[in-house]
A and B are shown apart, each in its own frame.
Chain A
Amino acid sequence: MATVISLKDIHRDFIVGNETVHALKGVSFDIMKGEFVTIMGTSGSGKSTMLNILGCLDTPTSGSYLLDGNSVGEMSRDERAVLRNRKIGFVFQNYNLLTKTTAVENVELPLMYNPSVSSVERRDRAVKALQDVGLGNRLDHMSNQMSGGQMQRVAIARALVNNPSVVLADEATGNLDTRTSFEIMVLFQKLHAEGRTIIFVTHNPELSRYSTRNIFLRDGRVMEDSFNSDVADAAAMLASLPIED
């Protein structure tokens, strides 16, 4: 199986005033194509810092990072932007949709920055991505007319539209109620079943049952890295939840 991500001895220091915060203190692991990885850890353990580096939004202070064989550390700012555009889908805790903009237009956004995609293809792919996340009937709804769960689905569709090598989600269910959280987990399991590589960051240990691999961070270090042979079915869990109105 192909290696999508390869981290070696990643450090990330932040300088705050005249103190240095060591957010990551030598993190190494490889992630293969088709894995569904949950990264866990308490607040402040360095999960977001690591995911931002994986998403090429931030660069490590030291260490090497290969994404699909490309050495991110040696890339220029613009090259990293193109890499984000073609190989990464990012899902944020607070959705980060454009306001006063329809679902389709939000999903089209990454393709706007890809000149090789025509406007017709862009629209088709955005519609397809929205159908995949179950929002085929909400194409022209404005982002502010949707529920949290719907907004997060739009964000996931946006992360999928460029057909990325890896989907990164930072506390993607953090702002959602339990039921909606499980709906999103069902969606991630479906995407995984379709063969996508997913890295899912959460501080909620319960969610580790639904992925194939768990990495546990503490204080900027990997404490535990284990495979999960008994993946629970999020859909079954969702069905067992009491229905609220």
Chain B
Amino acid sequence: MNFGNLLKISLRALGNNKFRSFLTMLGIIIGVASVITMLAIGQGSKRSIQQQISEMGSNMIMIQPGADTRGGVRQDASSMQTLKLEDYETIRKQVTSVVAVSPLVSSSGQLINGNNNSPSSLQGVGLDYLSIRQYQISEGDYFSEQDIRTAAKVCVVGKTVVENLFPDGNDPIGKIIRFNSIPFRITGVLKSKGYNAMGRDQDDIVLAPYTTVMKRILSVTYLQQIVCSAVSERRTEEAVEEITEVLRYTHKIKVDGEDNFTIRSQQELSSMMNSTTDLLTILLSCIAGISLLVGGIGIMNIMYVSVTERTKEIGLRMSVGARSRDILSQFLVEAVIISITGGVIGVLLGVFCAILINVVAQWPVFVQPWSVLLSFGVCTVTGIFFGWYPARKASSLNPIDAIRYE
């Protein structure tokens, strides 16, 4: 039998049982649609995290006191005081592969302006902090070198803080707000950055000179963090090495001694985040794969029932000259038509769902072309695989038994 006839016969048979064909297809549709949607969610969050990390400054380097704690070793309080202002000065003067450096100390507390208050944290930073974290001033000015030298009680605030403390929309520039009852004058407002990948509001921020926070609020001489920017993303590793060398020297650490500080680069963070989202994608794909498998079993189940139900038809076809392989191909082609049609509808539905999730839940989604090809390929294979057994059964029927079947 030629392929045209085969296709015609299979299409007729499917058309004669539209509802059953649709039910069979439904399994595949749901399977493929969920694969596409799940992968779109996984890939979407991965992309958005990558994008936000690069927005945060992909050449950012963070230096923290204490040895690397990722091994799980607990450290005493003194080990958290190993970063000093001198370290900041040293890095600034000696490390050539770094363009911007800033100390970082922070204190949490209550922000008050008249009757309005909100819990927040005050970050003590240097002049370079804005460029390192890629913040910009939208109104007013950043505090000055002079303010840092004199430990002036001035600050710049993020949009969220302005909204919390000045709900009536007054201009915050020049106003005095209190942090833990200490008055600060607002010199500028930061341009909004929105939420970051971890869901933190980057506009809920108050920046003040690090000297002010260290002397007037925390009364400490050590730093909680030093942040810097490498000259370029490619030179991040070089910068990390250089900083390590310089700090080990100034901290007088012996050749075989362990670092009493930890350096993390944005690159490292980014690969860490990637592995997390990859895991998420794998997990989602597994769930989706299972639904595709269930869809396949659905095909097998209905094809199997249909073989029994259509025994008489098979017998008739055989009696007018259909060979085993004609019957086998008919049932296989039916299975493949069902899975390919289901696949196409599933792809469309999956893309639609992904867009819907994006619009309604605001989740980032990204439909990767290979995920479409993959689920499409998988559902065709599923169709052939699960169509095979019932088709085999149909084709091996004895014509006389089949046609007598009631």
Q: Is the CB of B4 within 8 A of A90?
A: no
Residues 326-337 of chain B, each 1 if its beta carbon lies under 8 Å from chain A, else 0: 100000000000
Chain B proximity of A112: nearest CB distance (Å): 5
Contact of A84 among B2, B8, B313, B321 (CB under 8 A): B321
Q: Is the CB of B312 within 8 A of A81?
A: no
Q: Is B360 an interface residue (CB 8 A)?
A: no
Residue in chain B with minimal CB distance to A109? B320
Q: Is A178 an interface residue (CB 8 A)?
A: no
Please report which residues of chain A, range 162-187, place their CB below 8 angstroms from some CB of chain B when the two chains form the complex. 162
Residues 83-105 of chain A, each 1 if its beta carbon lies under 8 Å from chain B, else 0: 01110001010001011110001
Q: Is B221 an interface residue (CB 8 A)?
A: no
Q: A85-B321, A90-B319, A115-B2 are in contact. Are A101 and B400 (CB under 8 A)?
A: no
Q: A52-B400, A78-B325, A99-B16 are in contact. Are A115 and B1 (CB under 8 A)?
A: yes
Q: Is B231 an interface residue (CB 8 A)?
A: no
B residues near A32, Cβ cutoff 8 Å: none
Q: Is the CB of A57 within 8 A of B400?
A: yes
Residue in chain B with minimal CB distance to A96? B316
A residues near B317, Cβ cutoff 8 Å: 109, 113
Chain A proximity of B9: nearest CB distance (Å): 6
Q: Is B399 an interface residue (CB 8 A)?
A: yes
B residues near A158, Cβ cutoff 8 Å: 320
Q: Is the CB of A81 within 8 A of B313?
A: no
Q: Is B234 an interface residue (CB 8 A)?
A: no
Please report which residues of chain A, range 40-74, place their CB below 8 angstroms from some CB of chain B when the two chains form the complex. 52, 55, 57-58
Q: A98-B316, A99-B16 are in contact. Are A86 and B321 (CB under 8 A)?
A: yes
A residues near B318, Cβ cutoff 8 Å: 57, 81, 84
Q: A96-B312, A101-B16 are in contact. Are A119 and B4 (CB under 8 A)?
A: yes
Residue in chain B with minimal CB distance to A83? B321
Bound state CA distance, A245 and B321, in angstroms?
40
Bound state CA distance, A105 and B320, in angstroms?
13
Q: Is the CB of A100 within 8 A of B324?
A: no
Q: Is the CB of A55 within 8 A of B16?
A: no
Q: Is the CB of A78 within 8 A of B323?
A: yes
Q: A98-B313, A119-B4 are in contact. Are A113 and B320 (CB under 8 A)?
A: yes
Contact of B8 among A100, A110, A112 (CB under 8 A): A112
Q: How large is the interface on B (under 10, 10 to 19, 20 to 34, 35 or more residues)?
A: 20 to 34
Chain B proximity of A82: nearest CB distance (Å): 7
B residues near A77, Cβ cutoff 8 Å: 323-324
Residue in chain B with minimal CB distance to A78? B323
Please report which residues of chain A, range 109-160, place their CB below 8 angstroms from some CB of chain B when the two chains form the complex. 109-110, 112-115, 119, 158
Q: Is the CB of A113 within 8 A of B400?
A: no
Q: Is the CB of B1 within 8 A of A113?
A: yes
Q: Is the CB of A58 within 8 A of B321?
A: no
Q: Is B250 an interface residue (CB 8 A)?
A: no
Q: Is B403 an interface residue (CB 8 A)?
A: yes
Q: Is the CB of A81 within 8 A of B400?
A: no
Chain B proximity of A26: nearest CB distance (Å): 21
Residues 363-378 of chain B, each 1 if its beta carbon lies under 8 Å from chain A, else 0: 0000000000000000
Q: Is the CB of A90 within 8 A of B320?
A: yes
Q: Is the CB of B403 within 8 A of A92?
A: yes
Q: Is B175 an interface residue (CB 8 A)?
A: no
Chain A proximity of B6: nearest CB distance (Å): 9
Bound state CA distance, A119 and B12, in angstroms?
15
Residue in chain A with minimal CB distance to B313? A98
Bound state CA distance, A82 and B8, in angstroms?
20
Q: Is the CB of B323 within 8 A of A110?
A: no
Please report which residues of chain B, range 299-319, place their CB below 8 angstroms from some CB of chain A when the two chains form the complex. 312-313, 315-319
A residues near B403, Cβ cutoff 8 Å: 57, 92, 96
Q: Is the CB of B1 within 8 A of A84?
A: no
Bound state CA distance, A55 and B403, in angstroms?
13
Q: Is B293 an interface residue (CB 8 A)?
A: no
Residue in chain A with minimal CB distance to B17? A100
A residues near B313, Cβ cutoff 8 Å: 98
Q: A96-B403, A98-B313 are in contact. Are A113 and B321 (CB under 8 A)?
A: yes
Contact of A58 among B16, B323, B400 (CB under 8 A): B400
Residues 342-373 of chain B, each 1 if its beta carbon lies under 8 Å from chain A, else 0: 00000000000000000000000000000000
Please give me the 4 A-B residue pairs with the lowest Cβ-Cβ distance, nearest first. Answer: A85-B321, A110-B320, A81-B323, A113-B321
Known: A82-B323, A84-B319. 10 other contacts (CB 8 A): A57-B403, A77-B323, A81-B321, A85-B321, A98-B313, A113-B321, A113-B322, A113-B323, A119-B5, A162-B321
Q: B: which residues have CB within 8 A of A?
A: 1-2, 4-5, 8-9, 12, 16, 312-313, 315-326, 399-400, 403
A-B contact pairs, 27 of them (CB 8 A): A52-B400, A55-B319, A57-B400, A57-B403, A77-B323, A78-B323, A78-B325, A81-B318, A81-B324, A84-B320, A85-B321, A90-B319, A98-B16, A98-B316, A99-B16, A100-B16, A101-B12, A109-B316, A110-B321, A112-B1, A112-B8, A113-B1, A113-B321, A113-B326, A115-B1, A115-B5, A158-B320
Q: A: which residues have CB within 8 A of B?
A: 52, 55, 57-58, 77-78, 81-82, 84-86, 90, 92, 96, 98-101, 105, 109-110, 112-115, 119, 158, 162
